[in-house]
A and B are shown apart, each in its own frame.
Chain A
Amino acid sequence: MHTHAAGNDTPEKTMLSEKYPDEVKAIFAKYPVDQRRSAVMPLLYLAQREEGYITKAAMKDIAGMLGVDVTEVAAIVGFYTLYHDQKAGKYRMQVCNDLPCALRGADEFLNSLCEYLGIQIGETTPDGLVTLEAVMCLAACDKAPMFQIQSPEEITYHENMTVDKTMELIEALKASGKEPA
């Protein structure tokens, strides 16, 4: 498991605008100058890059940039499924088991994954690598079983999956610490 950077004694750049000045500038440039609030979603993704979830401090930081109350920002984090306010595994493996995928065996696939990984839906492997989640339709119904992997940096699709292929992928993630392209 990777170590937490917070609480270092060296002074650290903690504000998004200090850490990612170019990205923050590019985000605000997408919207009319008097509509800064529109930037909240891309800023939250940027904040999530750090730890895979959005800290209270980051929410305060973003609220300050936008001139809104921190509660407003927290409400947005809570509303959308791809934002997280809790730490989880490094990779969130999000298996679709909605109707079209389930008609093609997604529930059985998900159950097998639980068995192989020795965890239940919503739990994280003991090494902190993978959190297994069941999610709603990902627009890949013809390629079930499938899942997406949400990491702090990106989201990738994995389609026409089998348990074997999935375990290989997990091994590769474990070995490299990085998802294979």
Chain B
Amino acid sequence: MAYILLRHRDIPDLDKLDVYLKHGGFETLKKAVTQMQPDQVTDVVKSSGLRGRGGAGFPTGVKWSFLPKNIWPHYVVANADESEPGTFKDREILEFNPYQFLEGLAIASFAVRANLSYVYLRGEFWYLADKLEACLAELEKAGYLGDRLFGTDYSLRLRVHLGAGAYICGEESALLESLEGKRGQPRIRPPFPAVVGLYAKPTVINNVETLANLPLIIGEGPGEFRRFGTEKSPGVKVFSLSGNVQKPGNYELPLGSTFRELIFTHGGGPSEGRKVRGIMPAGASSSIILVNDETFDKVMDTPMDYESVQGIGSLLGSASVIIIDDSHSMEWVINKTVRFFKHESCGKCTPCRDGTYWMGHLVQHLGREVANGSNLTLLKDVAVQMQGKCLCALGEFSTMAVTSALERFPEDFDVKAKA
């Protein structure tokens, strides 16, 4: 199967503009700008069923159609703030297939008639900022960006904005705050960014991988895109596989491929003599899927699409699949995830700011008896109390590994046995 998103693995030097052009590059943008109406582009994306690859899985074309037509200008911001522990797919696309992503961003910009769009790149991807800036300069020189594209009245400029290390800026409203030169703290919604976004104007925010799908969808049509994947989760997806497997890495597979295929066929399974014990399919934000002799086949045969993963008590998210083998205790695992969210909480909402602090304290002293039972019951209580009480998903995400570990791996938290 030829690669769709990781095409650079088939075509060497695809990050050079002449090579990208030789392989049909920017013909789709030209087609869109010269032969289609912006709304037509949106309709094609809608009918493709493309869902956001950043984690939420919201239908991309529908998101675009929320922008009001009586407030201008419109903006598109590419979310390249890839920071979920376990996710490293956008980085590969940005580094080796940057023009496909940029063409997608240009197509999205045309669809909503944005004349200025941004790439919000996480600060750690410093070396990619220079690379993308160079790509943009090449594109302006070659006439694929700038004034009056392809002789039409449509003009477009793209700019790179470098973040400075904050997981929360991957959350779209925090990202906009950051781009406006403020601390990256989520906004109260409504209003949603589609109406009041960047500089208080209608704004679309799409993930890098989402945008990289657009040249295929607009160029070849939704049917071509739907050749892979399932009815509700069409297309291919880049799965970032990490943790206790022999061959970690990015694997581009149709949505709906099974865990078995990813973990064993491609990832080589856990190391010799070890067993898979837990899977976190959406990075540190996941509920941990229990794998034991009883559940093994059911889990491994589960298709990795949005609905099916939900069906076994977790989420697909951005498909950052972390494998935990039987040499690790879940107590240690949630110490790690809680530490992460405690560090990354932006501090705006009290349940998240204080809740992640207290979870951090409690997971380190689980054996200790307190007035109302043990720290274990208190931990569960704090986690449950946080859920559904914050402006963004970070607070809730921080509790997923905790509550699922306590419920599904109780033997790892046998306080009495340890005492």
From A38, A40, A99, B86 is in contact (CB under 8 Å) with A99
The secondary structure that dominates the B interface is: mixed
1/0 per residue A54-73: CB within 8 Å of B? 00000000000010000010
Q: How far apart sit A104 and B164, CA to CA, in the bound complex (Å)?
A: 26
Q: Tell which of B161, B167, B181, B343 has the most Cβ of chain A within 10 Å.
A: B181
CB of A155 within 8 Å of the partner chain: yes
Q: Tell which of B90, B183, B250, B323 has the most Cβ of chain A within 10 Å.
A: B183
From B85, B166, B333, B340, A80 is in contact (CB under 8 Å) with B166
- Determine the residue in chain B with the shortest Cβ distance to A96: B85
- Determine the residue in chain B with the shortest Cβ distance to A141: B242
Q: Which residues does chain A contribute within 8 Å of B164, judged by CB atoms?
A: 41, 44-45, 80-83
- Do residues A157 and B127 form an inter-chain contact, with CB atoms below 8 A? yes
Chain B binder among A3-11, A113-121, A131-139, A167-175? A131-139
Q: Which residues does chain A contribute within 8 Å of B84, judged by CB atoms?
A: 137
Cβ distance B134 to chain A, nearest Cβ, rounded Å: 14
Interface positions, chain B 10-56, Cβ under 8 Å from A, are none
Q: How far apart sit A20 and B351, CA to CA, in the bound complex (Å)?
A: 44
Q: How far apart sit A157 and B91, CA to CA, in the bound complex (Å)?
A: 12
- Do residues A137 and B324 form an inter-chain contact, with CB atoms below 8 A? no
In the complex where A35-B199, A82-B123, A139-B83 touch, is A76 in contact with B162 (Cβ < 8 A)?
no
CB of B210 within 8 Å of the partner chain: no
CB of A100 within 8 Å of the partner chain: yes
CB of B122 within 8 Å of the partner chain: yes
- Determine the residue in chain B with the shortest Cβ distance to A148: B124
CB of B244 within 8 Å of the partner chain: yes
Q: Which residues does chain A contribute within 8 Å of B250, judged by CB atoms?
A: 142
- Do residues A66 and B181 form an inter-chain contact, with CB atoms below 8 A? yes
Cβ distance B274 to chain A, nearest Cβ, rounded Å: 11
In the complex where A75-B183, A99-B336 touch, is A155 in contact with B127 (Cβ < 8 A)?
yes
Q: How far apart sit A82 and B199, CA to CA, in the bound complex (Å)?
A: 25
CB of A102 within 8 Å of the partner chain: yes
1/0 per residue A138-168: CB within 8 Å of B? 1111101000100000111100000000000
Q: Which residues does chain A contribute within 8 Å of B184, judged by CB atoms?
A: 79-80
From B159, B167, B243, B323, A136 is in contact (CB under 8 Å) with B167
CB of B240 within 8 Å of the partner chain: yes
Cβ distance A134 to chain B, nearest Cβ, rounded Å: 10
- Do residues A136 and B181 form an inter-chain contact, with CB atoms below 8 A? no
CB of A98 within 8 Å of the partner chain: yes
CB of A15 within 8 Å of the partner chain: no
Partner-A contacts on B (CB < 8 A): 82-88, 90-91, 116, 122-127, 159, 161-167, 178-184, 199, 240-244, 248-250, 280, 284, 320, 322-324, 328, 333, 336-337, 340, 343-344, 346
Partner-B contacts on A (CB < 8 A): 30-32, 35, 37-42, 44-45, 66, 72, 75-76, 79-83, 98-100, 102-104, 136-142, 144, 148, 154-157
Counting from the closest, the 7 A-B pairs by CB-CB distance are: A81-B165, A80-B164, A37-B181, A141-B242, A142-B248, A155-B126, A137-B85
